Structure 1
């Protein structure tokens, strides 16, 4: 039997460890692979690719998605609040719809804030409970956003159209956040 050359022996021993030490998928690949099956994949990809913070793990991704949703919900809430003051001269129905929507969006902001706080403090022993909370709170935020839109039936077309556009956008990014939370939950918090 011929002896195995030393360089061949060492190269076969080193290859598996080199492959094992290779870093996981780059952040853009993580975003792309996570967004591809989302309900709104292009919006997911666009909003998370332009996110300025780090996205290296499923936890980072879920937090980023919630932060995007929270920022948009706050912006929509501010828009609605400003329109309520402008709408004081409008019909009672429009004023009531805007006032109710402001309240619904404030609730949505609260639920998303609670979710973000929970995701920032995940612990192994309470992971499942915390993920259940996060899913519940983001689902509640989505419900508030949908309820906001429901109040605009029978309201002037332009007012309804403006509000619908803003709230629908918030609802879509909130749906993306819920999807990322579900993906994090499915991963069991691996590489949190």
Structure 2
């Protein structure tokens, strides 16, 4: 019963995410093709460009051709995915039939995902401080904070993944969590790459 519930939960969450982003992205592509082109070019700087375009095309009307807004959208997506994954892990933690080692790994993952969410959450307003009135060392201070916090969030997510690398884990639990956490880590990696791109292209001259 537990494995069946787990399978249904995975299917529901994955399908829900796909439908929402696919519908929004199609609308944006027809209404703002210039912004879509900008997003595609920018996403080439990431490790997962296809995922990057899929996640951020829905924000084309907001992003337009602003590198700061694109980085902001990427961080928002990362935060949203991390929060939904946290809910997913919490549900796993309450499921019966987990082995002690699996239970501990899920608990550890909850802790690291909580830290990851905190890091991303505070990076979003910090990025907002890198606007037109932020120059020189002030700009670098704020953007450096964002880079540090998003890097820490990515480390937390990878730490959660490492906790499920052993052979003794239940196959369904291991597969479910790795799929979700890997997706979050890839989205966060893309967000960090876009923050770095924004920083490099707007770094003040010496």
Q: If the TM-score is normalised by the length of the shorter chain, which range does it land in?
A: 0.7 to 0.9
> Whose Rg is larger?
1
Determine which of 163, 180, 183 is the counterpart of 2:194.
180
CA distance in 2, matches of 1:53, 1:93: 46
Query: Partner of 2:91 in structure 1?
Result: 82
> RMSD value over aligned CA atoms?
1.7
Q: Distance in 2 between matches of 1:142 and 1:127?
A: 23
Relative to the length of structure 2, the TM-score reads 0.76
Given that 1:104 and 1:148 are in contact with CA atoms closer than 8 Å, whether structure 2 keeps it comes out as yes
Alignment of 1:126-145 (within 5 A): 126-145=138-157
CA distance in 2, matches of 1:169, 1:75: 11
Q: State yes or no: 1:64 paired with 2:49.
A: no
SS state of the match for residue 62, structure 2? coil
Mark the runs of 5 or more structure 2 residues left unpaired by the alignment: 1-32
**Structure 1 Cα separation of the partners of residues 128 and 61 of structure 2:** 14
- Aligned partners of 2:36, 2:192: CA distance in 1, in Å? 20
The Cα of 1:26 is off from its aligned counterpart by 2.7
Provide Cα deviations, 1:26-73, integer angstroms capped at 9, x if missing partner: 311210110123210100011100237600300000000000000000
Aligned pair 1:110/2:126, yes or no?
no
Distance across 2 between alignment mates of 1:133 and 1:37 = 20
CA distance in 2, matches of 1:53, 1:106: 31
* Equivalent position of 2:161 in the other structure: 149
1:159 aligns with 173
Runs of 4 or more consecutive aligned structure 1 residues displaced over 3 Å after TM superposition: none
TM-score (norm 1): 0.81
CA distance in 1, matches of 2:109, 2:53: 28
Runs of 5+ unmatched residues, structure 1: 1-24
